[in-house]
Amino acid sequence: MSRLIIVSNRVAPISEGGPAAGGLAVGVYDALKETGGMWFGWSGEVVASGQPQLQLVEQGPVTFATIGLARRDYDQYYRGFSNATLWPAFHYRADLIQYDRHDFEGYWRVNTWLAQQLVPLLRPDDVIWVHDYHLIPFAQALRSAGVRNRIGFFLHIPFPAAQVLLAVPPHRALVEALCSFDLLGFQTQADVRAFCDYVVHEGGGEVAGGEQGAPVVAGAPAHVRAFGRSLRAAAYPIGVYPDEIAQLAKAGARGKSVRLMRQTRHERKLIMSVDRLDYSKGLVERFRAFEHLLDQVPACRNNVSFVQIAPPTRADMHAYQDIRLRLESELGRINGRFAELDWTPIRYIHRQYERSVLAALFRESHVGYVTPLRDGMNLVAKEYVSAQDPDDPGVLVLSRFAGAADELTGALIVNPIDIDGMAQALSEALAMPLADRRARYRDMMAQLRSNNVSVWRDTFLRDLAQGGQLPAERAPG
Ligand code: ADP
Ligand code: G6P
């Protein structure tokens, strides 16, 4: 069997043996711990002086190969083009896109340099699977270095509509670079359609076949011919291990955190949200909708608590400092308006938690409140459902703009801009009869089991192994 090489900017922290907050690290970690292989990427360190050195650490069946970034590379590649240009653009926040040509050059330079670091570690029959928007030029860089292995790419975040992508000045170079991969994986059919639309209408390419009408999971990938390359593209919605999470949640219910939560909530109902503190997550709108619920349904006052766990992320970037200030101002305002001596309406927590603790808290709560403005998938939504008690499950309130909404049709689907609609959904969720909750939970668990993270990995790798061309067999221009 070929060895699997995973390449991503963020690598799960090695010492803690578990993933950081962020869907990529969590999903990839779950996928790789079964197959074994190598995980190559940034160590998370910024190297003040001297050349960053590659570090190899073996942990069970996985070799972690990580390297630091020089300050300028971190600023241009990570903070700059990846997170100040691509992240807002791909999350439909054209208002937040910043562009600096030097950052773009740095992004390309770091991709080339990272590819050069990887090349000596590769064997001829390795299968290379590159993840996410930081590494769009990675296949092109490997090909230039003479690598002929199969190379796949999975985008964890949305692929934007062509009209939005056009706002990123080097959009054409990016899509051309994507076409150097053999297989492109997206979270949803809508993302595949957006990519194909760009290829046909802006890139002068052709698309044939595929399952573009299919609502959820990929059938046969679409064949794409563009920029002198022939490749395939399909949707592979990332999953979780629902039964493993259910076990963790059940075991964690006896732990200290859940006991504390129980003691302090008394008989109150609990609404729970967990997100990185990112402007794509719709936290301000979510707080306002909870406020609206307290306004509209006085019986909820002092009878419902909302816990928002939001570990800060990319905290050295202006847009993230700004969303944090806005959120904290809303939080202070709403808590000031409604709090009682014995009740704080919104509890706001920055901490990281063990997966078992999070799962147990999900199980303890009555409503999972997951309302991003845009999200590639949103694993939290899938984790929330997985963690529920089958006899007395909570209700998921889910944004239609999360990729997970395609699969989790048993959720109460909301538009996160519609504050009134979200408050109504919360009220409905809090009052939902047991039979209805059970039926929705059963449907969603069946879907999560049939498309778990092994299915995601195996389907993608099967398609990558089966088709595609080696670079010597380039399609005619
Ligand atoms: P994103 O990838 O944008 O962060 P996802 O919902 O897809 O969003 O993935 C987030 C992942 O990070 C989930 O697996 C979630 O459990 C985990 N996570 C989020 N916040 C925390 C936290 N405070 N402690 C531990 N894990 C967290
Ligand atoms: C999302 C992205 C990942 C990223 C994660 C955390 O899940 O898709 O690529 O790793 O957010 O963000 P960070 O900038 O800390 O890696």
Enzyme catalytic residues: 156, 375
Residue 87 lies in a domain: yes
Residue pair 320/279 in contact by the 8 Å Cβ criterion: yes
Whether residues 264 and 131 fall in one domain: no
Who has greater pLDDT, 16 or 259?
259
Whether residues 187 and 234 fall in one domain: yes
Whether residues 195 and 155 fall in one domain: yes
The number of folded domains in the chain is: 2
Quick check: CB of 359 below 6 Å from ligand 1?
no
Q: How far apart are CA 247 and CA 57, in angstroms?
A: 30
What domain range is 323 assigned to?
242-450
Q: For the CA atoms of 31, 33, 37, 43, what is the dihedral angle to 10 degrees? A: 90
Whether residues 231 and 271 fall in one domain: no
Whether residues 225 and 282 fall in one domain: no
Mutational pocket test of ligand 1: of 26, 93, 245, 351, the residue with most ligand atoms within 8 Å of the beta carbon: 26
Amino acid at position 271, single letter: I
Whether residues 213 and 307 fall in one domain: no
Residue 39 lies in a domain: yes
Whether residues 393 and 459 fall in one domain: no
> What pLDDT digit, counting tens, does each position of 229-283 carry?
999 999 999 999 999 999 999 999 889 988 988 888 889 999 999 999 999 999 9
Whether residues 365 and 427 fall in one domain: yes
> What pLDDT digit, counting tens, does each position of 418-455 carry?
999 999 999 999 999 999 999 999 999 999 999 999 99
- Give nearest CA residue, ligand 2 atom 12: 22
Whether residues 413 and 459 fall in one domain: no
- Give nearest CA residue, ligand 2 atom 6: 22
CATH number at residue 406: 3.40.50.2000
Residue 475 lies in a domain: no
Helix (H, G, I), strand (E, B) or coil at 291: helix
Strands 229-235 and 269-274: unpaired
Angle, helices 419-431/283-296, rounded to nearest 10 degrees: 60
Mutational pocket test of ligand 1: of 276, 279, 448, the residue with most ligand atoms within 8 Å of the beta carbon: 276
Select from 172, 122, 178 the least CA-distant residue to 152: 178
Cα of 277 from ligand 2 centre, angstroms: 11
Q: How far apart are CA 418 and CA 399, in angstroms?
A: 10
Residue 473 lies in a domain: no
pTM: 0.96
ipTM rounded to 2 decimals: 0.99
Whether residues 193 and 73 fall in one domain: yes
Quick check: CB of 358 below 6 Å from ligand 1?
yes
Whether residues 130 and 143 fall in one domain: yes
Whether residues 64 and 154 fall in one domain: yes
Q: How far apart are CA 235 and CA 216, in angstroms?
A: 8
| Ligand nearest the Cα atom of residue 357 | 1
Q: How far apart are CA 361 and CA 304, in angstroms?
A: 15
Residue 472 lies in a domain: no
